[in-house]
Structure 1
Amino acid sequence: MQHYKEKSTSKKHQEPKVTMLSAFKTIIWPRRNLVFIGLLLIIIKSASGLVLPWQSKVLLDQVVPNKDMSLLYSLIAIVIAAITVQAVTSYLLTRILSVQSQFLISELRSQVQKKVLSLPISFFDNTKSGALVSRIMNDVEGVRNLIGTGLVQLVGGTFTAVVSLIILIKLNPWMTLFVFVPLTLFGLIALKAFKFIRPIFRNRGKISAEVTGRLTETLAGVRVIKAFNAENQENIVFEEGVDKLYQNVKKSLTATALMTSSSTFLIGVATTGIMGMGGYYMMIGEMTTGDFLFFTLILGFMIAPIVQMSNIGSQLTEALAGLDRTEELMNMTAEEDNPNRTIELKTLKGDIEFKEVSFSYEEGKEVLHHINFKAAAGSVTALVGSSGSGKSTIAGLSATFLTPVSGVVTIDNQDLSKVKLSTYRQYLGVVLQDEFLFEGTIRENILFPRPNATEEELQNAVKAAYVNEFTDRFEEGLETLIGERGVKLSGGQRQRLAIARAILANPKIIILDEATSSLDTESEALIQKSLAELIKDRTTIVIAHRLSTIRQADQILVIEAGHIVERGNHEELIAKEGRYYELYTYQSKI
């Protein structure tokens, strides 16, 4: 857990890693065939755009003075053909590059989501789910500018500007040189602005993720918010986040406004100078009216892409900032990529043993101290004790959600920290206190661990967990929609559905975390019967506050302050009249 915290913190102080060159290698070059076709279309489109100013010169210098009707018809035909070429190439560019960029976005989202799911549980403990949703969905959006609109404008604009410059130099080198002075100043201002904007865009992604994360939590916890009349409190928190985002956007808009205003001023200066110089050259006969119009129109073709660079630069800067953040996630080490995990479990008997196991969530604050016990294959080990004593941490270590700081947890005498997780977890079943259900039908939730299970296997799980006891009363039966997180079901119904899911998974190892805590007496009686079926011949680790539910456990471990203070079966611990006896007799009186 600490590892990811430190990693993400240190990243904040590093220079951005994703550059245009690296983005070109990883994103553009693998799609080079489509991109090159796109570039060819861009060049054709840009070249056809130059036809109109060229024909305008012909119109003024040849057609009108000579009253040449045939040349006029030819001129109109050429202009219409050029406009048609522009329209067709524009359509093809959208089909090829814009569609490809959207495909790339969907592809990247899938890759990032796959990477996120491969990260350890400790990473999710430190990261809001809403923030991760924002990073998966929003951070990759900017790549459309690398292949789509941004690339079109950048390459097309550059080509147009270069060709226009050559034409301008041929028309009048001195007027062209005069224009270059303000354009050079604009270029220097733009470079400074982009350097200033990129960190702002990087920070914007972080702020946006935080705001989205908080909003997701707010919507998920709306019942708690309304129960405590805390709407105003949540509104204030959200408004603060939105304002923080606004302040960030304001900074980038200020820099963009500086570029826009400077370009307006400098281009105005250049235009005024061109009017003066053009007027002078026409008066002394070194320039025709057609030449001046042609120069002015071509000058617009050269300046427009350069001014557009401020917009393109912002788009590309935003894209690279998003890719920086995506790269952070993609560079994290997946659980399965741990080089120490080399052991593959072909079969599993189910012997679990803790040997001198200590664990801490934060450095220097141990929550487990030198835990030793063995859970034999097929046995039931119950963990009891006060809240915060370390029971759930032991369960988390058994499920490989956590890794010991010191000591060893073994499975069939193999060090669990060296076992490939997928080969262990295929034998694992977990039923949590606050069991998570997916939006959908009851059938879909039970089939979640084994989507291809037969109808007979499904029905056996339904009956074993007594799910049919309530689904038979539903009009839609197993096809009943349960709402987000199963909100349309009672606590007992959700718990039985979760147990049916675990029964269908047919695991060798079962971890039950307060599996009966949310049940009424009648539901608990039904669950006890289904649990007896679930744990048969399976290694079971069960956490329970209701001590009456674990009387038949093979061994009971009493955990207090991270230590095992007592161990034995129910009768032995009652006879000792120690901590377990106190807990049991206290609950019996209630």
Structure 2
Amino acid sequence: MADVVTKSKPGGKRGAVNVDIQHSSSPSPSVWQGFGRKVRLLLPYVWPKGTSSLQGLVMLCVGLLAAERLVNVLVPIYSKNIVNELSAGGPWTSLVSTVCIYTLLKFLQGGGAGTSGFISNLRQFMWIKVQQFTSRGVQVRLFSHLHGLSLRWHLERHTGDVLRSIDRGTSSINNLLSYILFSILPTICDIIIAIIYFVSYFSVWFGLVVFTCMVLYLTCTILITEWRTKYRREMNNQDNSAKSRAVDSLLNFETVKYYNAENYEVRCFEEAIFKYQWCEWKNSASLALLNQTQNIIIGSGLLAGSLLCAYMVSHGQFQVGDYVLFGTYIIQLYTPLNWFGTYYRLIQSAFVDMENMMSLLAEHREVEDADDAQDLQLTAGQVEFQRVCFSYVPGTEVLQDVSFTLEAGQTVALVGPSGSGKSSILRLLFRFYDPQGGCIRVDGQDISRVRQSSLRSYIGVVPQDTVLFNDTIGNNIRYSRATASDEEVQRAATAADIHARILELPQGYDTEVGERGLKLSGGEKQRVAIARTILKEPQIILLDEATSSLDTQTERNIQASLAEVCTNRTTIVVAHRLSTIVGADQILVLHRGQIAERGRHHELLEQRGLYAAMWRKQQKGFDTPTEKRTGNFTEDT
């Protein structure tokens, strides 16, 4: 039986064209390593707790499996009886009864392997709901886990790699249980039943022939398949690289065109095709070797058993029907046994496909709620940083001993050169990360001891780089509060000075913004983000260069709207243009991760320090208008 090979689209990584495959000197681990952990992952989804209807379906499927085993034994016996009655010239009424029973058994069994009979089809139909329950549970758990991972992991991930791992992993789980429960285990049961039957009905020699053939077949299948596993891993690695590379290239299509790099991208893709095809050839060649070995073992066993049975018939020890019984039974047994090799290889491939998904599930959540975490009880909105130290990379501190207190309803502005740690303060307050030292409190409560969801429900963020969902403008604004009415959405858009612009569009608020909001300009996207935050009505507002993508007139309009929105709300503003924060209650000047100066605008000017120098520079027009709006870690690393 030819193996079922899952083919993936070719792909590769960036680099010079080279078809050589680099092999690791260390041996590949067996896919059966961690078998217990993989089974523990699947078991809760096989037996659906609390769902009696699905549990009943599982028990019914097990009962149908047992019925199939019984039918597989009876079919050869009635085939023998028909031949013997025909040879002996038995009565017609007895022959009709025997033929009808045989036909009924074949209808229940199907094509001899139990793969298309009434019982098998009924079992597959009953199993659909259980399989859907398993698939849904695993996918939801994985999706929830990925959303629970830290910002650090999401910034370092390769989206194409992750998506491909999820696709392969969930697909493998859908098939894995069916292979094990309805193919491997029944085949093993059939082998044991056959050996017992041949020994008891024929002789011990027939049982020995079947046993020897089965042992050799299974041993060779397992050993060669284990050896072939490394080629499957190579194909998966090439597939992951291809998806990651392709997604990265397509998402940055503008950059490709800016630098006239289309031919370079094509060469990289051609290199990936060569690499994938080389892995595919090795996988196919080793598969051909395995299939030929299996055929030799099966043919040898069939020849030995047939010759022995024919010898017994020729010497009068057996009837002709016994030869038919042996031939029918052994062929019926070899058919699922041949599939056993295929299903074993598919199970191994499924385990290999699950490895990346299991790695995703094993990813540690850098920021987790404490076991005794409680909801944040927000009373006023006071924010306090007490001797906070933080670093993205050990040994390189971004914040050093930062302390300040922001009273409820006040506005504090964070200014300073790029890399001074301004955006890191916002990320720490939002609990994208936990500080390595010190403490952050909101209304006297340590935010590391409260639930993240409750903390974030009180905080609204307008980031530097706004990324929108591929949905309508109205739904993107409504994302901060899904229950908001159309009138509330429009009021928020008006406050963000984008309502009039939306009405100019042919479909108004139903206009699709495209993937990541690419159909909108930078300023329009930022105003949508501001409207989204206004609609949320948070008690604490974080503005990370919230007007950096706006023209001067629109910026003035937005500043007025933000000033109204931030009234009586605790606000932290990160700004490069100092003219936008002159009215802040407190200005913190950060330099190399420390607070170098603090005070109000006029107080800092009087100090004639870093802030005063920055102010004079901007007033003279020497400030670079495109200064640092790069996102991610650029500003703080």
**Structure 1 and Structure 2 fold alike (TM over 0.5):** yes
Q: After superposition, give the CA deviation of every residue in 1:472-510 in whole Å (9 maximum; x if it has no partner).
A: 212221121111111111111111111010001000111
1:467 matched to which residue of 2?
A: 498
1:412 matched to which residue of 2?
A: 443
Q: Which amino acid aligns with 1:44?
A: A
Question: Which of 198, 202, 212 is 1:181 aligned to?
Answer: 212
CA contact (8 A) 2:161 2:240 kept: yes
2:383 matched to which residue of 1?
A: 352
**How far, CA to CA, are the matches of 2:244 and 2:226 in structure 1?**
29
**How far, CA to CA, are the matches of 2:420 and 2:227 in structure 1?**
50
Q: CA deviation at 1:369?
A: 1.7
Q: Please state which structure has a larger fraction of its residues in helix.
A: 1
- Residue correspondence of structure 1 range 43-82 to structure 2 within 5 A: 43-66=66-89, 68-82=91-105
2:619 matched to which residue of 1?
A: 588
Q: 1:12 to 1:238 in 2, by over 3 A?
A: farther
Q: 1:199 to 1:567 in 2, by over 3 A?
A: farther
- Residue correspondence of structure 1 range 400-549 to structure 2 within 5 A: 400-549=431-580
Q: 1:200 to 1:140 in 2, by over 3 A?
A: farther
- Residue correspondence of structure 1 range 369-408 to structure 2 within 5 A: 369-408=400-439
2:192 matched to which residue of 1?
A: 162
**How far, CA to CA, are the matches of 1:407 and 1:581 in structure 2?**
30
Name the SS of the counterpart of 2:255 in structure 1.
Answer: helix
1:128 matched to which residue of 2?
A: 158
Q: After superposition, give the CA deviation of every residue in 1:335-386 in whole Å (9 maximum; x if it has no partner).
A: 7753376343222312212222211111111122222222222122222222
Question: Which of 295, 303, 306 is 1:275 aligned to?
Answer: 306
CA contact (8 A) 2:79 2:102 kept: no
Q: After superposition, give the CA deviation of every residue in 1:46-75 in whole Å (9 maximum; x if it has no partner).
A: 433455433332333222441754444334
1:102 matched to which residue of 2?
A: 132
CA contact (8 A) 2:374 2:450 kept: yes
Q: 1:195 to 1:422 in 2, by over 3 A?
A: same
1:287 is the counterpart of 2:318: yes
Q: CA deviation at 1:40?
A: 1.8
Q: 1:235 to 1:394 in 2, by over 3 A?
A: farther
2:174 matched to which residue of 1?
A: 144
1:8 matched to which residue of 2?
A: none
More deviation, 346-355/147-156: 147-156
Q: Which amino acid aligns with 1:179?
A: V
Q: Which amino acid aligns with 2:146?
A: V
CA contact (8 A) 2:306 2:327 kept: no
Q: CA deviation at 1:129?
A: 3.2
More deviation, 472-481/206-215: 206-215
**How far, CA to CA, are the matches of 1:299 and 1:570 in structure 2?**
93
**How far, CA to CA, are the matches of 1:383 and 1:293 in structure 2?**
90
1:5 matched to which residue of 2?
A: none
Q: Which amino acid aligns with 1:151?
A: L
Q: 1:251 to 1:81 in 2, by over 3 A?
A: same
**How far, CA to CA, are the matches of 2:31 and 2:298 in structure 1?**
38
1:227 is the counterpart of 2:252: no
**How far, CA to CA, are the matches of 1:388 and 1:13 in structure 2?**
45
More deviation, 485-494/153-162: 153-162
Q: CA deviation at 1:89?
A: 1.6
CA contact (8 A) 1:39 1:155 kept: no
Q: 1:209 to 1:338 in 2, by over 3 A?
A: farther
1:7 matched to which residue of 2?
A: none
**How far, CA to CA, are the matches of 1:562 and 1:217 in structure 2?**
33
Name the SS of the counterpart of 2:504 in structure 1.
Answer: coil
Q: After superposition, give the CA deviation of every residue in 1:208-256 in whole Å (9 maximum; x if it has no partner).
A: 5554334333332222222222334444555666666666666665665
Q: 1:130 to 1:21 in 2, by over 3 A?
A: closer
Q: 1:513 to 1:236 in 2, by over 3 A?
A: farther
More deviation, 364-373/84-93: 84-93
CA contact (8 A) 1:341 1:417 kept: no
Q: 1:232 to 1:562 in 2, by over 3 A?
A: farther
CA contact (8 A) 2:389 2:437 kept: yes
Q: Which amino acid aligns with 1:130?
A: G
Q: After superposition, give the CA deviation of every residue in 1:546-568 in whole Å (9 maximum; x if it has no partner).
A: 22222222222222222222222
**How far, CA to CA, are the matches of 1:210 and 1:566 in structure 2?**
48
More deviation, 571-580/319-328: 319-328
CA contact (8 A) 1:359 1:404 kept: yes
Q: CA deviation at 1:429?
A: 0.4
Q: Which amino acid aligns with 1:496?
A: R
CA contact (8 A) 1:101 1:143 kept: no
Q: 1:181 to 1:343 in 2, by over 3 A?
A: closer
Q: After superposition, give the CA deviation of every residue in 1:527-562 in whole Å (9 maximum; x if it has no partner).
A: 222222222221111112222222222222222222
More deviation, 314-323/497-506: 314-323
1:563 is the counterpart of 2:626: no
Name the SS of the counterpart of 1:519 in structure 2.
Answer: coil
Question: Which of 319, 327, 334 is 1:296 aligned to?
Answer: 327
Unaligned runs of 5+ in 1: 1-10
1:28 matched to which residue of 2?
A: 46
Name the SS of the counterpart of 1:459 in structure 2.
Answer: helix
1:6 matched to which residue of 2?
A: none
Q: 1:362 to 1:152 in 2, by over 3 A?
A: same
Q: 1:110 to 1:340 in 2, by over 3 A?
A: closer
Q: Which amino acid aligns with 2:417?
A: S
CA contact (8 A) 1:355 1:409 kept: yes
**How far, CA to CA, are the matches of 1:532 and 1:210 in structure 2?**
48
Q: Which amino acid aligns with 1:142?
A: S
Q: 1:553 to 1:200 in 2, by over 3 A?
A: farther
Q: 1:164 to 1:343 in 2, by over 3 A?
A: closer
**How far, CA to CA, are the matches of 1:341 and 1:232 in structure 2?**
57
Name the SS of the counterpart of 2:432 in structure 1.
Answer: coil
Q: CA deviation at 1:180?
A: 2.5
Q: CA deviation at 1:37?
A: 1.2
More deviation, 567-576/190-199: 190-199
CA contact (8 A) 2:366 2:433 kept: no
More deviation, 495-504/84-93: 84-93
Name the SS of the counterpart of 1:403 in structure 2.
Answer: coil
Q: Which amino acid aligns with 1:308?
A: W
- Residue correspondence of structure 1 range 296-375 to structure 2 within 5 A: 296-322=327-353, 325-330=356-361, 334=365, 337-339=368-370, 342-375=373-406
Q: 1:539 to 1:578 in 2, by over 3 A?
A: same
